[in-house]
Structure 1
Amino acid sequence: MQLQQRINAFQKLGTFLAELSSVNSPHSIILQTAQDHNRWFTLDNIRFALHSWSEALSQENIDNWLSPYSFSEKNPKTVAIIMAGNIPLVGFHDFISVLISGNKVLGKLSSNDRILLPFLTQKLIEIEPEFKEYIQFSDKKLENFDAVIATGSNNTSLYFEHYFGKYPNIIRKNRNSVAVLSGDESPAQLEALSKDIFIYFGLGCRNVSKLYLPKEFDFKPFFNAMYMQKDIIHNDKYMNNYDYNKAVYLMGGVNLLDNEFMLLKEDTGFSSPISVVFYEYYNSLHEVEKYLAENTEKIQCVVSASNIANAIPFGKTQSPELWDYADGIDTLEFLLKL
């Protein structure tokens, strides 16, 4: 299959994703099935993911993504992709990267996200039938592959490194995203930050789980902006986490800031529980930037309106570009060198 065939197919798939994300889509039953399978995957969050991918797969974005690379037609390698299931279609970038590079996918789906990607695979094969020989999913022990891309926790990464270390690999561990605030943010910026925190219930590595704040930070504008996300507490799974974490902290005598649907806890850690956002005060932006640079292996995104290296704007964490690679590892370069 030629590169242009693959490009054309993904552009058409992007158009289909836009249609699928519509509330009037004739395929809404598949979205409902995905929600029924995993109650964290609400229809709103699924539609958000589909819409984000539809925008990413525009002709302009695909061209911009692929332009720095040199493609050569060669015998395809089989790449095992072990996918996480924390947010809808979290393994989709690895999936399209393997295929656009001319290689074959051997996918192992998370038990939490088994509905959407197989459905989209069927649509992709309908668009470009030659992909049928390039995509396989397996529930069994993975065999007969040439390289591995695996995403999981710090604990599962040890397992991955033990079993897959002899293969060319990308093995991803826990990462979190942080926001650095100056206290001068506008209401619109803080409302955009609320999306970075609450989309997907905070379950993604690109969700902001930690705030860096100047001394004497005024929390009132912050909480006013967060209020637009108040309906999140009506999700029973989220509410259960909120109630549990609040009870544990209060019994432990931990001081909290609480707006009845999110908890703010002063903490030096990066990874906060569901419904909780950690915060830490800083003395200078330079101090924060230095600390983040020293801990880059733990951080996926930095969100800020201040002059922080590699920071992205508020509201953009869950809409990455095709060239925004997880963990800063160029997946496509890795695949093209196989």
Structure 2
Amino acid sequence: MSEIGNRIQAFVKLGEFLSLFSQNTNENISNFNNSDDFISGFKHQIKLAEENNGWFTNENLDFAFHQWSVALKENNLKKWLSNYNLNTVNPKTVAVIMAGNIPMVGFHDFICVLITGHSIIVKLSSNDKYLLPYLAKYLEYIEPSFKGKIKFTEEKLEKYDAVIATGSDNTSRYFEYYFKNKPSIIRKNRNSVAVLSGEETKEQLELLGEDIFRYYGLGCRNVSKIFVPLNYNFDNFFDAIYKFNNIINEKKYTNNYDYNKAVYLMSLFNVLENGFLMLKEDQNYASPIATVFYEYYTDAESLKNKFNTEKDKIQCIVSNGFDEEEIKFGQTQKPELWDYADGVDTIRFLLEV
């Protein structure tokens, strides 16, 4: 088997390993007898991740592991990579600075660098520092050619040829200055939106709840703002998302809900709310936790022009028949391997480094 084939098979096995930690799997644990120590070890890392970050609940970790186990199926990997000629890669060292807002949020960059044949230096967020180093050890165990190609550091980055960095609008300015002499992908704040027509079914609005509440809305692919037609009736929306009401029992979420509600009340803002989510009319895209902004629109073309003008602020558009590149309700946190953050083709960048 070729080197590329070996790398693909290694990530297939990694996906199978991750499936063991999801309740949505039928994977037979007996197939992993030689990895018993890794299984118990990763369970310990999961426990540490939960203790370190209150947003990393068992449910959300389970969801992340399941989604990656699905993405790393052999047919998905081959379909993804079939668009590229990986034989032309001149191996370099790529530094990757990862965010920590949702579990394993930098995992896609990690895969991209290694599967193209490069070496990687990873600078992790303190909010998500346990899972990936352990998975890297397992990857080296099943595919020894990765040994020496994966490094994690908390120190100043040194001896690298290119950079992929994810952060806020503020940190991106620092990244752009600091890495100005290196080939780079610098990611800033983005948010996702949903466009409603008023004709959505209850099922579609329930699925929109998944786009809003998964990972507590902390991801750039989470819907943080909805656009609705004039005179939109929010009753159907609130009725459909009521199934997510248990989220208010999560202490960190509740604290944010109570705090933001108090701020809105003191500021005399007109807010719609149902006891676990607030809707606030606002021109901005990035809404606080437990809040979704909304804005009225008059016609689809004007809204499309607005999105085109402000496309650097938008990660995903969720709708039904509004946009050619729209994402279906309930699918924002289920991206394919070829769904690149900010629309920047990471593999193409790595092939040209």
Q: TM-score range by the shorter chain?
A: over 0.9
Deviation at 1:28, TM superposition (A): 3.3
State how far apart, in whole Å, the 2-side matches of 1:204 and 1:57 are: 21
Aligned-partner Cα distance in 2 for 1:71–1:61: 16
Q: Does 1:167 align with 2:168?
A: no
Match of 1:241 in 2: 256
Identify the residue that residue 126 of structure 1 maps to in structure 2.
Answer: 141
Q: Which residue of 1 aligns with 2:279?
A: 264
Offset from partner CA, 1:47-86 (integer Å, 9 cap, x none): 1011001100111110110011011165420000000000
Q: CA deviation at 1:288?
A: 1.1
State the match for 2:296 in structure 1.
281
Please state how far the C-alpha of 1:289 moved relative to its aligned partner: 1.3
Assess if the C-alpha contact under 8 Å between 2:194 and 2:225 holds in 1.
yes
Supply the distance in 2 between the matched residues of 1:272 and 1:264 (Cα, whole angstroms): 10
2: CA distance between counterparts of 1:155 and 1:239? 27
Q: Could you tell which deviates more after superposition, 197-206 or 127-136?
A: 127-136
User: Is the contact between residue 89 and residue 351 of structure 2 (CA under 8 Å) also seen in structure 1?
Assistant: no
Query: Where does 1:312-327 land on structure 2 (aligned, <5 Å)?
Result: 312-327=327-342
- Unaligned 5+ segments in structure 1 are none
Which 10-residue stretch deviates more, 317-326 or 303-312?
Answer: 303-312
> Is 1:97 aligned to 2:98, yes or no?
no
1:90-148: CA deviations, max 9, x gaps? Answer: 00000000001100110000000001111111111111112111100000000000000
| Residue in structure 2 matched with residue 10 of structure 1 by the alignment | 11
Contact 2:205 2:237 in 1 (8 A): yes
Aligned partner of 1:196 in structure 2 is: 211
What amino acid does structure 2 have at the position aligned with 1:231? N
Which of 68, 81, 85 is 2:100 aligned to?
85
Q: Alignment identity in percent?
A: 55
AA matched with 2:94 = V
CA distance in 2, matches of 1:163, 1:57: 34
> After the TM superposition, which of the residue ranges 252-261 and 23-32 deviates more from structure 2?
23-32
Aligned to 2:194: 179
Q: Secondary structure at the match of 2:163?
A: strand
| CA distance in structure 1 between the aligned counterparts of 2:138 and 2:201, rounded to whole angstroms | 42
Aligned counterpart in structure 1 of residue 79 of structure 2, from 44, 53, 64: 64
Kindly indicate whether residue 305 of structure 2 is the aligned counterpart of residue 290 of structure 1: yes
1:305 matched residue in structure 2: 320
**Aligned-residue offset at 1:307:** 2.7
SS in 1 for 2:96: strand
Question: Does the residue aligned with 1:268 lie in a helix, a strand or coil?
Answer: coil
Q: What CA distance in whole angstroms lies between the structure 2 residues aligned with 1:22 and 1:220? A: 34
**Deviations 1:289-324 (CA, angstroms, capped at 9, x unpaired):** 111111111000000012323111000000100000
Q: Is contact 2:89–2:116 with CA below 8 Å preserved after alignment?
A: no
Answer whether contact 1:181 1:306 (CA < 8 A) is retained: no
CA shift, 1:183, in A, is: 0.6
Q: Identify the range of structure 1 (25-34 vs 325-334) with the bigger mean alpha-carbon deviation.
A: 25-34
**1-side partners of 2:265 and 2:88: how far apart?**
61
Alignment counterpart, residue 171 of structure 2, candidates 156, 165, 169: 156
How big is the shift at 1:226? Answer: 1.1
Structure 2 unaligned spans of 5+? 30-38
Q: Distance in 2 between matches of 1:225 and 1:114?
A: 36
Contact (CA 8 Å) 1:21, 1:51: kept in 2 or not? Answer: yes
Higher mean C-alpha deviation, range 319-328 or range 25-34 = 25-34
Q: Aligned equivalents of 1:254 and 1:281: distance in 2?
A: 17
Please give the alpha-carbon distance, in whole angstroms, between the structure 2 residues aligned to 1:69 and 1:122: 27
Determine the C-alpha separation between the residues in 2 that align with 1:74 and 1:296.
Answer: 31
What is the SS of the residue equivalent to 1:253?
coil
Q: Does 1:40 align with 2:39?
A: no
CA–CA separation in structure 2 for the residues paired with 1:188 and 1:17: 30
Cα separation, 1, equivalents of 2:89 and 2:321: 46
- Cα RMSD of the aligned pairs, angstroms, is 1.3
Equivalent-residue separation in structure 2 for 1:122 and 1:234 (angstroms) = 36
